[in-house]
Chain A
Amino acid sequence: VQLVDSGGGLVQPGGSLRLSCEASGFIFSRYSMVWVRQPPGKGLEWVSSIIGGTGDTYYADSVRGRFTVSRDDSKEILFLQMSSLRVEDTAVYSCARRGFGTGWNFDLWGQGTLVTVSS
């Protein structure tokens, strides 16, 4: 059971990048998924959620209109398309699975992929 993040790298301000999160060992389609980021020296920040089954999406104000979350349940991959990137988007981005229970909790995390936005 694991999540593997990929797609990070160095990109110039205003550029685009697509992150991927490959799931294995569980029935991906049944789970809601999120992207969380951690800027250097700072804490965790939720970026986006996509609901399993409905595909409904939610975004943090800081990325709404610039980032798009999507999923391919047949290939068990979660995506984050990032555009109009800003220096402040520099962070380690991790995908996570919403776990059991009533509240929003995340029981499985990817190892993270570093996105650096710099000229």
Chain B
Amino acid sequence: QSALTQPPSVSAAPGQTVTISCSGSSSNIGKNYVSWYQHLPGTAPKLLIYDNYVRPSGIPDRFSASKSGTSATLGITGLQTGDEADYYCGTWDTSLSVVLFGGGTKLTVL
């Protein structure tokens, strides 16, 4: 069981907006930066967001993220069929000295 909790699945229609939550605790999200990844089966995960809300070069501004307390949220606007993937949050846990990933959220674009 992951120490970071994500909804197993979310869905929305093309063009719409979706949010994916990531809930942790004071020793991980509460103290450390959060990153987000997009993972299509059979491919390498792609870094979407780092340091809570920073987009790497080449990531469109349709992807955004925020953090508040012990939770973080990824938002995707203008959904496209190519956005269908699994999305993971990740952070460091200060008490455990480990990297944590959320359980992953499968996005379906209807």
Contact = CB atoms under 8 A, between A and B. Distances in A.
A46 to B, nearest CB: 4
Contact of A102 (B33, B45, B99, B100): B33
Contact of B56 (A43, A102, A103, A107): A107
Interface size bracket, B side: 20 to 34
A46 B99 contact: yes
B97 interface: yes
Which secondary structure characterizes the binding site on chain B? strand
Which secondary structure characterizes the binding site on chain A? loop
A111 to B, nearest CB: 6
Contacts of B90: 44, 46, 104-106
Interface string A96-119: 100111111111011110000000
Interface of B: 2, 32-35, 37, 39, 43-47, 50-52, 54, 56, 86, 88, 90-92, 97-104
Interface of A: 34, 36, 43-46, 49, 58, 60-61, 94, 96, 99-107, 109-112
